[in-house]
Amino acid sequence: MKKIIILFAALALLLSMAYAEGYYADTVFDVASDGSVAISGATNHADLNAQLTEKLTAKKDGIWTITINPTGEFSEYVYEIILPAGAQLIDVNTPNGSRIDAESARIKIIGTGEQTTYFVSARYITRAQPKEENLMFVLIGLMLLVIILIGIWGAGELRKRKKCESGATKITPSEKPKYNKEALTEIQLQIVEYLENGKGSATQAELQKKFELPKASLSRNLEGLERKGIIAKERKGMTMLVMLKKN
């Protein structure tokens, strides 16, 4: 009888540990003018896997609503909702707060959360665009895509050549990204200097341990550096790798 009690206690402990770990998500929701949403990023929740869906949006009386509310508790999540070009944001409803980026042609809603349920809802309106204007955007987008692909290929070849010539693993001064120190927060500057003095990359867990920051705070600072074009993030399995963008 005693062995059975111990077995049940161990099973309950394992189940509680699995539940405590919860879900994670680092996702982008790219909303099109017709209401379809392209989901991309990294997650262990089936509803947030990479896909194109129309289940997240609804339209009533000319007002669009996007609602993201996957089941279960999340140990950590970061999201970026990109509204259609020309959209006007009405309001955002989320218990954890969010940040609005309206500097680009498309409004972005950015938010994070830890040890909580995942819920965000936003209402917006869109204006119809002439077919000629849409065609122009498509052509411009294709041209930019070709330029970006050529640039990425060229940059990759250049980095390979430099590595072969120097054999160095540490980032060189000429490869360090150019940035305005006064435009960075103190912790952002410390993160950049840490990466520069190392090999140019570190895991997010390493940075969190180094600077003793909460996950949400570190994520916000990394988002700021990523928007400024100083770093790039790449998920490898369960690990998030943070890398300096080289010149």
164 has pLDDT over 50: no
Predicted TM-score (pTM) of this structure? 0.47
pLDDT tens, residue by residue, 34-83: 999 999 999 999 999 999 999 999 999 999 999 999 999 999 999 999 99
**Helices then strands, each counted (H, E), the chain:** 5, 13
Residue 97 in 3-state DSSP?
A: coil
Q: What is the per-residue pLDDT for 133?
A: 59
Residue 170 in 3-state DSSP?
A: coil
Q: What is the per-residue pLDDT for 200?
A: 82
Percent of the chain having pLDDT more than 70? Answer: 81
Q: What is the per-residue pLDDT for 40?
A: 97
What's the rounded Cα separation, in Å, for the pair 134 and 130? 6
Q: What is the per-residue pLDDT for 173?
A: 60
Would you state the structure tokens that stand for residue 110, as one six-digit string? 């950015």
Q: What is the per-residue pLDDT for 1?
A: 59
What contacts 22, CB < 8 A, 6 or more positions away? 72, 73, 74, 75, 115
Amino acid at 119: F
Would you state the structure tokens that stand for residue 47, as one six-digit string? 């509803």
pLDDT tens, residue by residue, 14-39: 444 444 468 999 999 999 999 999 99
Would you state the structure tokens that stand for residue 65, as one six-digit string? 């609503």
Q: What is the per-residue pLDDT for 168?
A: 39
pLDDT tens, residue by residue, 184-218: 888 888 988 898 887 788 898 899 888 888 988 88
CATH number 1.10.10.10 is the correct assignment for the domain at 181-244? yes
pLDDT tens, residue by residue, 90-113: 999 999 889 999 888 899 999 999
**pLDDT tier at 130 (50, 70, 90 boundaries)?**
low
Class of domain 20-126: mainly beta
**Range list of H helices, the chain:** 2-21, 131-166, 186-197, 204-211, 215-227
Q: What is the per-residue pLDDT for 198?
A: 79
Output the average pLDDT for the chain: 84
131 has pLDDT over 50: yes
pLDDT tens, residue by residue, 227-238: 888 889 888 888
Q: What is the per-residue pLDDT for 160?
A: 67
Residue spans per domain, the chain = 20-126, 181-244
Q: What is the per-residue pLDDT for 58?
A: 96
Percent of the chain having pLDDT more than 90? Answer: 43
- Find out whether 93 and 82 touch, Cβ atoms under 8 Å: no
Q: What is the per-residue pLDDT for 226?
A: 87
